[in-house]
Structure formats: structure tokens, C-alpha cells
Chains A and B, each alone.
Chain A
């Protein structure tokens, strides 16, 4: 009896699947020629991108933007594997573009993206920076009325400076580099990074470390004085300070990094996406974006002094004079070792 229904059932399933595929296909290709799909973080930062980066490009070329969020590397992998890439530009960690360059991400070959315009060590076949930021070490000044932290080593000294250390829950947050320098490694000797030595140093303050699951949690914990010190990115430090935490930065040793927009492999509008990318690194757009977010422009030819930063943005900007030692996070090292580091970091963290 049963087989009598099996065939119609299968036919129905196939038909439903087929019509579903047709439906979504039609949507994504409509008007593709002058529209770019932009994947990013969502929230205020994507609003800033719309205002400072997308709108000028629309004004100049008539290209419209479809904004989506979040920009997840796992989604790029899935899209590329399925052969149905819908994103043209994605604001996400350059590690993935570096590690899967040419496989999951497009190589940037537009001559307008001249790598010589960018600071050394910030570019790759598959990415150029769109802005620069730092992993800023700051402390809650309300909690240290007497002696105040002045060195990166003080982050690891819970006897003199008690309290929780709020850090991001991913390994490339500047914490490992900070641990090595606090342990006596010279800043220019940090790479190749001695992971085990860094974790041993972190073990000494492990019970005081709080791994924030999100940027919102960092803000909440610092404003509510749950943490005495924090290591997080420039823009988040600024937002947290503005929302009521009495933060003071410590400029001793600071790692810096870049934000990048990458092009997922098989992007429907690769050439146009590269044009947009070149356009948004130009001084006018870079300055507008830096002013909105408090980050620093990517290209070396943009004069940082001309950007009208607010006072709080200046306070936490690592690229102004007298900011101690800066170290750009080593792109090739992180790209090559990210899987190994993530595995070891996860195993260290959960046990």
C-alpha cells in the first residue's frame, strides 16, 4: 500500500524545493547591475558606514546599497560552497580573507587599490584596510583613587590593582601580545608569538579575567563597575566612556589593527565592489568615517590632525602623538596560525 503514496510525495518535495529555489534566485538577481550588498556588524557602526561611506558613493555613481547583518565568515563559507554568493562587500575579520584568499574571498586586483598608499604590514592579496584601530587598555578611574595603573604589566598585577579584567572572547583581542610584553618580551620580539608563554602569564590572572561575550556586555560591565580594567577596541572604549564609565587609557604598550571590507568569492559585482572599496579609502570618506567612529584613517596620506575628533575620541585614539609603544598585529602570523590559536585558546579557556 505504502509505495503508492511515495512517488507523489517525492514529486511534491522536489517541486516545493524547486519553486523555493526559483523564488529566491529571482529576488537576488533583480537590478543587480547598480546595487551592492553590504554585510556588516549591524547597529550604530553600520549606520556610520551608510552615512560616511555608502551615501557619498551613491551620490557619485548612483549605486544603491542593500545592507545586511551580521557578517559571519561561516556564512561566506556556506554561500561559496553552495555557489550562491549574494554579498559584495563584507566588514569582517581579515583573518578569514587571508586564510582562504582565492578560495572563499576574491583577490583585489583593481589598480586603484594601490597597496603603496597603505601603511606597511596592513595589506594582503585579499584585503586592504578601510580604517585603523587599537586594542585599548583602560581602567575605571573611580576604582583606583590612590595608585593608578601606568604600564601594561599593571593589567597583570591583581595584588596592586585588584578587580576584574574585562576582555573580548576571541584570541586576537590584543590580550596575548599584552601578556608577552608584560612577561618581559620586547615589543618587537612578540612575533612569532609564543602562545604557551602568553597563556602561562594569563594563568596568573585567569580567575580575574572576564571574557565578554559581546561588545554590549563590555559596556554594561564597565558602566556598572563590575570590572576595574578593560581591553577592547577603540570605538567600543569610546562608546563605553560616553555611556558613563569613568575610563582612563594607559598608553604603554598597545596593539593596533585594521578594519577591512572583503569581497566574498563569486560576488555578483566584483568590479563595482572594488571601485567602491577604492572610493571609500579616499581621504574625504576616510576622514568622515574616522570622525564618526573615532577610529583612524587607513591611508598614510590622510592627515590625522585635520580630522575634527571630539575630546573623548582624542583621549582614546592610539594614533595621536605620545601613545607609548604601538605594535601592528602581524597579519601573516595570525593568518597562518589562526586555527591552531583558536583551538588552543578554546581548550585553555574552557578548562
Chain B
């Protein structure tokens, strides 16, 4: 089958810049080379992302009948907005808790010896290397009534704390899975901070705390923002974790989309809901970018690609 070799062959034909002018200017040639390198990714994005997305948007306005009916129903069916609000709240809690956990962790990574650092990275990445279902069922067994977590909590006098089937339980598991997305961008920004700046601050009379607050914290802010926006966006789309560890009464938006697609076969309505979430996501990304100044989101590029363990 010619399919696997097709992109390189045709990509070769797509570089007319080489034969256009007799002596191509360096800038033009560089741009051609850049396009050549980008081409496979652009084609893949176009065919597998942009076209399907356009299809979803079209359907959301045309299926079952033309108009904005699918969008209006999101606001009138009585539960979508409530579930969306809950999803945003959970994503926010996961993000804030994640920052509080990840910041000291990433900070310690910059101070640790290379060996210790390797161990720390491994520990934070372990959830990635476990099957998503195995991990969620493990949480289920840990958090169930009479399980390990309840046992530990009752040792310190907290009896009958229910986690399985609650939004708290879902959030705890989400924080664990999403921690690498928080730690790694923070670490990559923090390791570039020149620690002598802290000493300089202290030599000018600042206390350790205020030199941290006025020098280190602002310099590490891009890492916080890129980690936080990544985690927030990923948390909005969680499906398996709330389905297994939560309860329908605490359903998140992905479960409502699943009902519309798989049970109601309402592709248009599900598409409208998806587009709505996409808009909300873009808005929150825009806000975070503005908060941190441009370029902050580039820290996110240091994180491995792919949505890991949703």
C-alpha cells in the first residue's frame, strides 16, 4: 500500500522554493525549510483535528435541524449549566491543590542531587506508566468503605469519612494523575533561575523570605501559570475517573457528553456541548496568558505530549 510513503513523496514536491529564483534569498529558503519540516504535522493536524472539528461545529448547528437550538438547549435543559459549573469548580480545586503540592516539590528538585532528582521525577511520573483503569480501580479499593484510606483517617480520629462516590475522591485521584503536568513546567522554569539573585537580594538587606517573595516567586511565575493552565484544561475533560470514582449525582461534563453521544445518539447536541467547553477552555487559557504575560505558556512545551491518563 502506498499510504505510508505518500507524505514524504508529495512533501518533496511541495518545495518549489528551491527552483523558483536562481539565487534564493536566505530568508526565503529558511522559510521554505521551516514549512517543509512543519508539513507532516500540519497535514496530520488538518486531516485529524481541523476537519473533524469543523464537522463537529457544522453538526452542532445543523443536526437535527438548522439553527442554534442545540446551544439553546444547553441553557434550558436544567442540568448542563449545573454540571458545567461543578466541572469548572473541580478543575479549579484540582489546579489550586496541584500548585500547592507541586511548587515545593519542583523547588526541592532544583536543590536535589542528580540522583535524588531522578528518583523524584520517577515518583511523580509513576501514574503515567500505570494503566488508567488499573489506577482507578486501585483508588476504588483504597477509598471504599472500610478501605485503607478510611482506616488511616480513623487512626487520627476522623471516623466514617466517605471518599468513594464523592467529588472529593474524584479530585484526589485527579490531582495524583495531573501532578506531572504541574511539576515539570515548574521545574523547567525554576532550574533556569539564577540562585545568585537570591543572594544578591539578601546582601542588599532583604530577609530570606522577602527575597524569595520578591525575586524567586516572580521569576518562577511562568512555570506556575503554564502548569496551572495545562492542569485546568486537562481536568475539564476527565471522563474515566469521575465515572468510576464519582457518582452520577456528582457527574462532570464529559459524562454528560457521553450520554448524549452514546445513549441519545444526539451528535449535534453533544457537538454543541463540546464546542461550548472549547470556548470556555480558550477563554480560561486567554485569561491565564494575560495574567502571566505572553510566553508563559511556552513552559508547557517542556511537558511530554499527549493526554496521558485521563
Chain A interfacial positions (CB closer than 8 Å to B)? 1, 4-5, 8-9, 11-13, 15-17, 19-20, 22-23, 26, 72-74, 77-78, 96, 100, 169-170, 206, 210-211, 213-214, 216-217, 220-221, 224-226, 339, 342-343, 346-347, 349-351
Interchain Cβ contacts under 8 Å between A and B, 23 examples: A5-B14, A5-B35, A12-B10, A13-B43, A16-B3, A16-B10, A19-B6, A74-B267, A77-B267, A96-B265, A170-B263, A206-B249, A210-B165, A211-B248, A220-B137, A220-B141, A342-B259, A346-B259, A347-B79, A350-B79, A350-B249, A351-B79, A351-B82
Whole-angstrom distance between the Cβ of A76 and the nearest chain B Cβ: 9
Convert B1-22 into 0s and 1s, putting 1 for each residue whose CB lies closer than 8 angstroms to a CB of A.
1110011001101101100100
Partner of B6, one of A15, A96, A170: A15
Whole-angstrom distance between the Cβ of A6 and the nearest chain B Cβ: 10
Contact B141 A350 (CB under 8 A): no
Contact A350 B39 (CB under 8 A): no
Contact A342 B244 (CB under 8 A): no
For the complex, is B83 an interface residue (Cβ under 8 Å from A)? yes
Chain B interfacial positions (CB closer than 8 Å to A)? 1-3, 6-7, 10-11, 13-14, 16-17, 20, 28, 31-32, 35, 39, 42-43, 46-47, 77-79, 82-83, 137, 140-141, 144-146, 164-165, 243-244, 247-249, 251, 255-256, 259, 261-265, 267
Contact A349 B262 (CB under 8 A): no
Chain B residues within an 8 Å CB radius of A169:
248
Chain B residues within an 8 Å CB radius of A15:
6, 10
Contact A213 B244 (CB under 8 A): yes
* Residue in A9, A22, A73, A216 with the greatest tally of chain B CB atoms within 10 Å: A9
Q: How far is it, in angstroms, between the C-alpha of A342 and the C-alpha of B140 when the chains are bound? A: 27
Q: How far is it, in angstroms, between the C-alpha of A17 and the C-alpha of B7 when the chains are bound? A: 10
* Residue in B35, B82, B164, B248 with the greatest tally of chain A CB atoms within 10 Å: B248
Contact B79 A4 (CB under 8 A): no
Q: How far is it, in angstroms, between the C-alpha of A343 and the C-alpha of B243 when the chains are bound? A: 18
Considering only CB atoms, which chain A residue lies closest to B35 in the complex?
A5
Whole-angstrom distance between the Cβ of A203 and the nearest chain B Cβ: 12
Q: How far is it, in angstroms, between the C-alpha of A217 and the C-alpha of B243 when the chains are bound? A: 11
Contact B3 A23 (CB under 8 A): yes
Partner of A8, one of B10, B47, B137, B247: B10
Given known contacts A13-B43, A213-B243, A220 and B140 CB-to-CB distance under 8 angstroms:
yes
Q: How far is it, in angstroms, between the C-alpha of A73 and the C-alpha of B49 when the chains are bound? A: 23
* Residue in A4, A206, A350, A351 with the greatest tally of chain B CB atoms within 10 Å: A350
Considering only CB atoms, which chain A residue lies closest to B261 in the complex?
A74
Q: How far is it, in angstroms, between the C-alpha of A4 and the C-alpha of B14 when the chains are bound? A: 9
Whole-angstrom distance between the Cβ of A270 and the nearest chain B Cβ: 22
Whole-angstrom distance between the Cβ of B132 and the nearest chain A Cβ: 13
Whole-angstrom distance between the Cβ of A41 and the nearest chain B Cβ: 14
Given known contacts A15-B10, A169-B248, A347 and B267 CB-to-CB distance under 8 angstroms:
no
Q: How far is it, in angstroms, between the C-alpha of A224 and the C-alpha of B264 when the chains are bound? A: 33
Chain A residues within an 8 Å CB radius of B146:
225
Known: A9-B42, A350-B249. 17 other contacts (CB 8 A): A1-B28, A4-B20, A5-B14, A9-B43, A15-B10, A16-B3, A16-B10, A22-B1, A74-B262, A78-B267, A210-B247, A211-B248, A220-B137, A224-B144, A226-B144, A347-B77, A351-B82
Contact B46 A73 (CB under 8 A): no
Q: How far is it, in angstroms, between the C-alpha of A1 and the C-alpha of B31 when the chains are bound? A: 10
Q: How far is it, in angstroms, between the C-alpha of A343 and the C-alpha of B261 when the chains are bound? A: 12
Whole-angstrom distance between the Cβ of B32 and the nearest chain A Cβ: 8
Considering only CB atoms, which chain A residue lies closest to B79 in the complex?
A347
Considering only CB atoms, which chain A residue lies closest to B262 in the complex?
A74
Chain B residues within an 8 Å CB radius of A211:
247-248
Chain A residues within an 8 Å CB radius of B47:
13, 16-17
Contact A343 B6 (CB under 8 A): no
Chain A residues within an 8 Å CB radius of B145:
226
Contact B11 A12 (CB under 8 A): yes
Whole-angstrom distance between the Cβ of B35 and the nearest chain A Cβ: 6
Contact A8 B251 (CB under 8 A): no
Chain A residues within an 8 Å CB radius of B267:
74, 77-78
Whole-angstrom distance between the Cβ of A257 and the nearest chain B Cβ: 17
Chain A residues within an 8 Å CB radius of B1:
19, 22-23, 26
Contact A20 B3 (CB under 8 A): yes
Contact A12 B39 (CB under 8 A): yes
Whole-angstrom distance between the Cβ of A125 and the nearest chain B Cβ: 19
Chain B residues within an 8 Å CB radius of A9:
14, 39, 42-43
Given known contacts A1-B28, A72-B262, A220-B137, A12 and B83 CB-to-CB distance under 8 angstroms:
no
Whole-angstrom distance between the Cβ of A280 and the nearest chain B Cβ: 26
Partner of A4, one of B2, B16, B43: B16
* Residue in A13, A216, A220 with the greatest tally of chain B CB atoms within 10 Å: A13
Chain A residues within an 8 Å CB radius of B10:
8, 11-12, 15-16
Contact A8 B13 (CB under 8 A): yes
Chain A residues within an 8 Å CB radius of B265:
73-74, 77, 96, 100
Q: How far is it, in angstroms, between the C-alpha of A214 and the C-alpha of B243 when the chains are bound? A: 9
Chain A residues within an 8 Å CB radius of B14:
5, 8-9, 11-12
Chain A residues within an 8 Å CB radius of B20:
4
Considering only CB atoms, which chain A residue lies closest to B263 in the complex?
A342
